[in-house]
């Protein structure tokens, strides 16, 4: 588990190193224009949507570790070639390899965490994963910002080379991991029909389908707005400067880092469905704060404070979700199918992250009041969907800590048959 967490931190550090500067690199440093830069960002999403349906099946059949190692090598090659690419075709091909590798890492690492944890320790393991991911992204972005120089292509080549080196270092670290034997499903061996059967089985799990719908709304209403609709709204409606926008993003990361383990003990002893419902209410308050920032006609200082608070409240909700949603996906999966379920949920996340900016960007930039009202309603919808999901979950799925405690008590109080003795 320690090696897996190191892997999460290294992969996040590598991504934070380059992703914030990808647009500038393609559009300005390589001189390929805004259109090509936009296509590169779209290619990341498209590559993820293409590979994720197959990644889950590969994880089930081969195990998460070989799939992760293959994804890391692909991502390293994509990063290195991206730093050397000089024309649009090479840039797009490199971005597709990097995007596909990054997308497959997520469900593979999540499945490894599932295989190395128990129902009682899983929430804490995923909380640690989320904490290290955000820390790695923040540190990577900070160091990368000091290395890049828009007047020198070589500085970006070095940046992408370091990212590739991070992925290859992770290959070395993860190759030493000895995974526990994960249970396999009888009749899993290959063939397209079996692949279709596994997806049919997943879609037949009503609780998982409801969780996927809930997950889409979660990622659409929060993560899908961070760098598109909400930032555009802040600049256009609230008059937020780019430096203040950076402060707001830092407040989000700081809230996650500070609050993650503070809320963990509270969260892991509550019903998961109610925790997610509570996140919906917190995010509704965040959107009200955003509404005040852009529509409240207060002072610029108050608008700035409200806007930064919006990002901080989103961070609090994220800290509550990390030990809740990913373990719930694992607990809904039948034996041996965790990889398939993790990949399906990652696919839903990618869809939301692709649709969210496309919808939120134009709304946030021009239709300020409808934008806030729309996502306020989405946040309240999270609460409704979570409470409905709770009615489909078993006690061990919705509140594993209490279920485990009751099993221990039951084992401790089981009456013992008296042993007959001779008179």
Residues 49-95 pLDDT 10s: 888 888 888 888 888 889 999 999 999 999 999 888 888 888 889 98
What pLDDT shows up at residue 63?
Answer: 84
Q: Using CA atoms, how far apart are residues 153 and 83, in angstroms rounded to an integer?
A: 9
In the three-class reduction of DSSP (H, G, I as helix; E, B as strand; rest coil), residue 299 is classed as coil
- The yes-or-no verdict on residue 413 having pLDDT over 80 is no
Helix, strand and coil percent figures for the chain, each rounded to 5: 80, 0, 20
pTM above 0.85, yes or no: no
Token reading at 312: 């901080």
C-alpha span between 335 and 321 (Å, rounded): 24
Query: What burial letters (b/e) apply to 112-141, b meaning 16+ CB within 10 Å?
Result: bbbbbbebeebbbbbbbbbbbbbbbbbebb
Q: How far does CA 292 lie from the centroid of its chain?
A: 28
- Please state, rounded to an integer, the average pLDDT across all residues of the chain: 81
Residues 6+ apart with CB under 8 A from 367: none
Task: Give per-residue pLDDT as tens, 176-229.
Answer: 877 765 444 333 334 444 555 667 778 888 899 999 999 999 988 887 777 667
The DSSP secondary structure of 9-54, one letter per residue, reads HHHHHHHHHHGGGHHHIIIIIS--HHHHHHHHHHHHHHHHHHHHHH
Mean pLDDT for 268-279 is 89
Q: What is the pLDDT of residues 242-260, one digit of tens each?
A: 667 777 877 888 888 888 8
Average pLDDT value for residue range 291-297: 81
Q: What is the DSSP letter of 360?
A: H
Least confident of 50-59, 146-155, 366-375: 146-155
State residue 58's pLDDT score. 86
CA dist 235 and 404 (Å) reads 49
Which tens digit of pLDDT belongs to each residue from 85-142? 888 888 889 989 998 898 888 888 888 888 888 777 788 888 888 888 878 877 777 7
317 vs 43, residue with greater confidence: 317
- pLDDT band at residue 261 under the 50/70/90 scheme: confident
Q: Which of 134, 115, 116 is nearest to 8 (CA)?
A: 134
By the 8 A CB rule, do 287 and 304 touch? no
């Amino acid at each position: 588990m320690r090696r897996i967490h190191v892997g999460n931190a290294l992969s996040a550090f590598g991504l934070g190193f380059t992703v914030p500067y990808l647009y500038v690199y393609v559009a300005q440093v390589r001189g390929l224009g805004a259109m090509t830069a936009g296509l590169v960002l779209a290619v990341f999403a498209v590559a993820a949507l293409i590979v994720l349906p197959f990644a889950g099946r590969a994880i089930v059949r081969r195990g998460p570790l070989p799939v992760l190692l293959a994804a890391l090598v692909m991502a390293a090659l994509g990063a290195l070639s991206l730093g050397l690419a000089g024309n649009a075709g090479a840039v797009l091909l490199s971005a597709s390899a990097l995007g596909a590798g990054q997308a497959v890492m997520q469900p593979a690492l999540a499945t490894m965490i599932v295989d190395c944890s128990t129902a009682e320790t899983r929430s804490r393991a995923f909380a640690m994963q989320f904490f290290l991911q955000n820390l790695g992204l923040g540190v990577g972005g900070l160091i990368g910002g000091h290395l890049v120089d828009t007047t020198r292509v070589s500085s970006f080549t070095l940046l992408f080379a370091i990212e590739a080196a991070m992925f290859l270092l992770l290959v070395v670290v993860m190759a030493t991991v000895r995974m526990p034997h994960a249970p396999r499903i009888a009749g899993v061996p290959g063939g397209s029909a079996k692949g279709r059967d596994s997806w049919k089985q997943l879609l037949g799990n009503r609780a998982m389908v409801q969780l996927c719908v809930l997950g889409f709304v979660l990622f659409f209403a929060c993560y899908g707005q961070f760098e598109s609709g909400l930032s555009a709204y802040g600049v256009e409606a609230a008059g937020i400067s780019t430096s203040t926008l950076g402060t707001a993003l830092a407040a989000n990361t700081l809230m996650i880092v500070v609050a993650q383990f503070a809320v963990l003990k509270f969260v892991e002893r509550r019903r998961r469905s109610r925790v997610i419902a509570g996140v919906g209410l917190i995010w509704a308050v965040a959107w009200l704060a955003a509404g005040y920032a852009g529509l409240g006609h207060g002072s610029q200082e108050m608008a700035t404070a409200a806007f930064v608070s919006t990002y901080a409240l989103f961070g609090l909700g994220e800290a509550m979700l990390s030990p809740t949603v990913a373990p719930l996906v694992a607990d809904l999966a039948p034996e041996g199918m965790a990889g398939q379920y993790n990949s399906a949920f990652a696919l839903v996340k990618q869809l939301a992250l692709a649709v969210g900016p496309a919808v939120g960007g134009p709304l946030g930039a021009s239709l300020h009041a409808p934008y806030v009202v729309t996502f306020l309603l989405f946040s309240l919808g999270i609460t409704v969907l979570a409470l409905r999901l709770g009615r489909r979950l078993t006690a061990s799925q919705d509140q594993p800590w209490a279920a485990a405690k009751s099993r221990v008590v039951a084992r401790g109080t089981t009456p013992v048959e008296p042993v007959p003795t001779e008179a």
